[in-house]
Chains A and B, each alone.
Chain A
């Protein structure tokens, strides 16, 4: 069975600082995708970043980057220069071919001005 774990239910960061959200997963598949989704208080879920398992290079999207450690089955999200608009629930997700997406329990991020 595939699982996604986010061990930090809540995190906080000072505005303009850097924060890292943790995610570990488990799958027996060799081909899969990993995602980070953001759900602001307005509730619309937004895709932040995605990583293909076959790619060794870590994905980056502006201030968002990941640290993908395939052997350790770890997929952390780093947010640089945190902004007030980054405050949201962040979900880590795993998808293997032809299977459903598995979401982690989420990490609630607060940004302190």
Chain B
């Protein structure tokens, strides 16, 4: 079974631009979560989607948004990029939202200049 895939793997953007990251979960997994990982802040939860509905949301500004499609693939969007948005963005999928372990993708490394 294929693992979680994330595209693109690396991205360089300029301040003020917007970016869309994509995540394809493991086949059969219906829950997708997004995390921002930085050396200073560690792993911070962004949001979780289950069956196209946002189930949980972290403490990030409205510039961060996401969605999930009927095939469980998910995208996250960051508008008006700031230098502080430079991070590794991790996607994780799980079977459901009720206490299932998560399987992580390789991440997208976003650099904002």
Q: Taking beta carbons and an 8 Å cutoff, which residues of A are in contact with B?
A: 31-33, 35, 37, 43-47, 50, 52, 91, 95-103, 105-106
Contact = CB atoms under 8 A, between A and B. Distances in A.
Ranked nearest first, the 10 interchain pairs of A and B with the lowest CB-CB distance are A45-B104, A100-B56, A103-B43, A33-B99, A105-B42, A100-B45, A47-B101, A44-B106, A50-B101, A97-B98
Contacts of B103: 47
B42 A98 contact: no
Contacts of A37: 104
Contacts of B88: 43
B48 interface: yes
Contacts of B48: 100
B16 interface: no
Contacts of A95: 99
Given A98-B55, A100-B48, A45 B42 contact: no
B8 interface: no
B104 A96 contact: no
Contacts of B56: 99-100
Contacts of A52: 99
Interface string B73-108: 000000000000000101010000111011111110
Contacts of B43: 91, 103, 106
Contacts of A98: 55, 97-98
Nearest to B97: A98
A48 to B, nearest CB: 10
